[in-house]
Structure 1
Amino acid sequence: MSDNVARRGFLIGGLGGAALLAAGCTSNEPAASGPTSAAPAPAQASGGNDQPGTKVTIGFSAPAADHGWIAAIAKNAEATAKQYTDIDFKPVEPTNDINQQISAVETLIQAKVNALVILPNDGQQLNQVALQATEAGIPVVNLDRIFPDKLAYRTWVGGDNYGMGVAAGHYIGKQLKDKGVSNPVIVEIQGIATLPLTQDRSKGFADALKTYGFSVTAKQDAQFTVETGNEVATSLLQAHKKIDAMWNHDDDQGVGVLAAIKEASRNEFIMVGGAGSLNAMREIQSGNSVLKATVTYSPTMASSAIKLARLIAQGKGMSDLVENTVPQSITLASETITKENVEKYLALGFES
């Protein structure tokens, strides 16, 4: 994505999982023995937030579903909204056109929705319309690609791009160290090189590899598309007659990457993916693929964004936290899926 394709995040167990990731101390902590004074009480008992409350209208805007991850974002948002009788869900037509997305968000502002969930095509270019919503008294839940102005959103929820790189780097670094490989050839297939999220992923990868004394030999961006993934992988395979490890940032473009690898009949290296698609998980599960792991950036973040928007619009906090209001920022963890643990992640995967 020019921020044109959305990126990934990971959450388990709905809002309870988000709470655990957002804070180290929750209302589930056991009480200390002995007398207490002025101890804050949780906003509600666990699970109470799912009980029907004030009816709220939540507007939703995201890019067009031109690949698996984005399609899952929209599907998860709608499915979660339908779980609540007190949500009137108002999605606008998805688009990859910046001006059309701005216009669509403006219609939601004019409709005076109670909250907005926005995954912008480009956070910088949609910053102004998000500010308009905030100034109109409509809280904005900024999903994934962040608006540069903190005044433009009430809460941000998204994945840990730097953490994705770190997870991929540690997996590859440990595997190569355990095999006694020195001076390995490590190639990296990025999404879009100019995006901050891509740069964060690459920095995390380089920083983790450095702890093993390794570095990236070559990297190239593949635009988050299957076709370009195929072309870039073909080029890298031709340029390097022997490769020890490959990190592909995105499982959607990874469909093309894996096709190129199979076409070239190459299997001397290990590969790590990114996001947690079902097809990637099936490759890992088979044990017959160069793809040995993928690091999560799950579209379940959209489900959490809808839950957060509902709580904010109803003036509630997160029931697993002591605080009375929803946090300003929630960064979801990036986890490493391997053959050993893949079964527990299958339910959270998406089709590329």
Structure 2
Amino acid sequence: MSNTTFTWRRVAAMGAVAALSFGALTACSSERGDSGSTGDASADGGAASADPGDVLVGIAMPTKSLERWNRDGAHLEELLKDDGFSTSLQYADNKVDQQISQVENMINDGADILVVASIDGTALAPVLQTAADAGITVIAYDRLINGTDNVDYYATFDNYGVGQMQGEFIVDQLDLENTTETYNLEPFAGSPDDNNAKFFFAGAWDVLQPYVESGTLVVPSGKAPASDDDWQSIGIQGWSSDTAQSEMENRLNSFYSGGEKVDVVLSPNDSLALGIAQALAGAGYTPGDGYPILTGQDADKANVLNMLAGKQAMTVWKDTRTLGDQVATMVSEIAAGQEVTVNDTESYDNGNKVVPTYLLPPQVITPDTVNVLVDSGFYTAADLGL
């Protein structure tokens, strides 16, 4: 695939983005892999198209150390190969420099489209300028890439909605609207270098902060951000389970040594929840009455098993297979010179531009509803000991 062809398609895509700014875009109705769909034509009336066999798609994933990124990378690569695309899938061990080097190699190898799940959403601007100069279209995968004009599309879940679900679950479980009791809360936030983390926290904190201000929820550690904008003060770098465990241990040892009990822990994802559950176990908390409400996200297998064992109250499931499906659709549309399917043109400002985005819906999973994960094929019953 020549850079000339994709440079022309990039111009067409950016023309479509300009149209978005004036409210001209509506989401396409095409299904993945159906190039003869009834979706809208590209903004220039028909940009150059390419045979998938001539298109190399570079896929940059953050790490293999978390279950979800293994699933995401393998699923997206399988979809694209089934559609006839050539792929280069790389994992960066959560090392920013390694991810930059991998993206550079993809560019040098002649990638036509890049799908990037960034480790640090602020660190990729220089390498993406190189991609833009080569006429490469860039899709940010699940994590927004900030501080650059050279990210064309973004696909993710409703991340603010994820946090809302966690906050609303806590409100419902403790009946905070009607209770006269007070409860001890310890809030956590995600990695400060992950743009999604601020949305997760904002969604939850907008629900919970009024109860903190009223005194219904008390934060003995004092680690209650004054506003959504202060979320990084309680962020756990790299979404590390070990760091979350150490932080929770410090809070329990420092603020709960006189017999006080923590009633609820706001954990933005399952990786942090694993570490927090370990800290709770070390402090003598056992499943059953009096065990804290612990939230999570991702429906990782270890956390679903923890839910079934009474060590975690809920997780927010983002069926990442649907994210891969959507990104595969976007890749196919780009290669076909079609207008790219998005459904949000207002929410995701990366500091340089509002990035056209496709949002997917998340779902709350509790111990009573884990069969949804089996019925969907995400896990087998044997995986979960059911």
User: What is the aligned partner in structure 2 of residue 12 from structure 1?
Assistant: none
- From 241, 247, 264, the counterpart of 2:266: 247
SS at match of 2:136: coil
* Partner of residue 164, structure 2: 166
**Deviation, structure 1 residue 242:** 1.3
Is the 1:42–1:319 contact (alpha carbons within 8 Å) kept by the matching residues of 2? no
Sort the Cα spacing of 1:169 and 1:124 in 2 relative to 1 into closer, same or farther, 3 A. same
Identify which of structures 1 and 2 has the higher relative contact order when contacts are C-alpha pairs closer than 8 Å and 6+ apart: 1
Distance change (3 Å), C-alpha of 1:145 and 1:259 = same
Match in the other structure for 2:112: 114
SS in 1 for 2:305: helix
Which letter does structure 2 place at the counterpart of 1:226?
A: S
**Under a length normalisation based on structure 1, what TM-score does the superposition of the two structures give?**
0.73
Aligned to 1:136: 134
Q: Is 2:262 the partner of 1:232?
A: no
Q: What residue number does 1:281 align with?
A: 304
1:314 to 1:199, Cα distance in 2 relative to 1, 3 A? same
What is the CA-CA distance between 1:195 and the residue it aligns to? 4.7
1:56-95 equivalence runs, <5 A: 56-84=55-83, 86-92=84-90, 94-95=92-93
C-alpha separation in 1, matches of 2:320 and 2:102: 22
Q: Take 2:180 and 2:87, find their aligned partners in 1: how far apart are those partners?
A: 53
Q: Deviations over 1:89-143 (max 9, x none)?
A: 1224534333332232222223322211111222221122223212322111111
Unaligned runs of 5+ in 1: 1-22, 29-40, 45-51, 322-326
Read off the aligned partner of 2:38 and give its amino acid letter.
P
Query: Is 1:335 the counterpart of 2:363 in the alignment?
Result: yes
After superposition, give the CA deviation of every residue in 1:175-211 in whole Å (9 maximum; x if it has no partner).
1116835332111232334654333322221211245
Residues 77 and 25 (structure 1), Cα distance of their counterparts in 2 relative to 1, 3 Å cut: closer
Cα RMSD (Å): 3.3
Q: Is the 8 A contact 2:28 2:339 kept in 1?
A: no
> Paired residue for 2:333?
311
* TM, length-normalised to structure 2: 0.68
Q: Percent of pairs identical after alignment? A: 21
Report the Cα distance in structure 2 between the residues aligned to 1:216 and 1:334, rounded to whole angstroms: 28
Q: 2:228 is matched with which residue?
A: none
Q: Summarize deviations over 1:263-308 as a string: whole Å, max 9, x none.
A: 3232512111122212222332x2x414111123454334532442
Instruction: Work out whether residues 246 and 270 of structure 1, in 8 Å CA contact, stay in contact via their aligned partners in 2.
Output: yes
Question: Relative to 1, partners in 2 of residues 1:216 and 1:72: Cα closer, same or farther, differing over 3 Å?
Answer: farther
Range with greater deviation from structure 2 (73-82 or 55-64): 73-82
CA distance in 2, matches of 1:130, 1:216: 45
Look up the equivalent residue of 1:231 and give its one-letter code: S
Q: Would the alpha carbon gap of residues 104 and 186 (structure 1) be closer, same or farther in structure 2, given more than 3 Å must change?
A: same
| Aligned 8 A contact 1:131 1:153 in 2 | no
- Ranges in structure 2 where 5+ consecutive residues have no aligned partner: 1-24, 31-36, 41-49, 224-233, 344-354
The alignment partner of 2:87 has SS state of strand
Match of 2:149, SS state, is helix
Q: Is the 8 A contact 1:116 1:309 kept in 2?
A: no
